[in-house]
Amino acid sequence: MLVHPQFDPVAIALGPLQVHWYGLMYVIGFLGFLIIGKMRSKEPNSVMNPDRVDDMMFWGAIGVVAGGRIGYMLFYNLKGLLSDPVSLFQIWDGGMSFHGGLLGVILAMFLLARRWKLNFFQVSDFVAPLVPIGLGAGRIGNFINGELWGRATDVPWGMVFPQVDNIARHPSQLYQAFLEGLVLFIVLNWFRKRSPPVGAISGLFLVGYGMARIIVEFVREPDAQLGYVAWGWVTQGQVLSVPMILLGVLFMWFAYKKAKA
């Protein structure tokens, strides 16, 4: 049985200035987006250029933070939001939603596509293979903070999170870092190099993330304020991921159908 190391959430402290590990993971995600995105923008026939990558990172970051916070309050803590609307801005208390952040990024991509006079999917297909960098880093940040732990288990790698209880639990943050980060990054970039039709990469991202999230949610402890939302085993994360998968399949179907026309 393993025990969570109880990392100090502060990575760097310079007097009153403190840099938290979780915030550092966001920085790693954004830097990874910039570095790899700019490399890809120089590929032949790319509709992007380094300046556009800068714009995508800037507006995408705003979409992630704003959408992630709003999504969390709407999807996971609506009761708290209604009782105290100011809590929406209390980001220091924690609470970010991937699905909300995704909607924020989609809005940013839509507006940028209009500005650049591009098809929305030309932008989203460029962005999608870069997103898993931030997803994986974010889940590592969750693990370092000792949050979003898994359900009780007797597997040999079960981990005790002392801040919760003395029960061995799935280190579900690491499962998500592996599936949503490393695996999804490899799959999307492999698929991208096969020159799929416009929209197919975006569709595969939705399907891949949705499936990974649903799988891990079976061993992840549901949010305390919500618990299970149906049948004693379905979580909010699974409910929000099902439409992603359906929409992703639809995107891929339309992409290949249009390519054959």
Binding-site positions read 139
Q: Which residues pair with 10 in a beta bridge?
A: 20
Cβ proximity of 76 and 236 under 8 Å: yes
Q: Which of 214, 169, 187 is nearest to 131 (CA)?
A: 187
Q: Which residues pair with 230 in a beta bridge?
A: 234
> 235-239: which pairs have CB atoms within 8 A and are 24 or more residues apart?
236/75, 236/76, 237/213, 238/213, 238/214
Residue holding tokens 């700019």? Answer: 38
Exposure string over 186-198, b if 16+ CB within 10 A, otherwise e: eebbebbeeebbb
Residue holding tokens 């989609």? Answer: 106
Cβ proximity of 106 and 120 under 8 Å: no
**End-to-end Cα distance, the chain:** 57
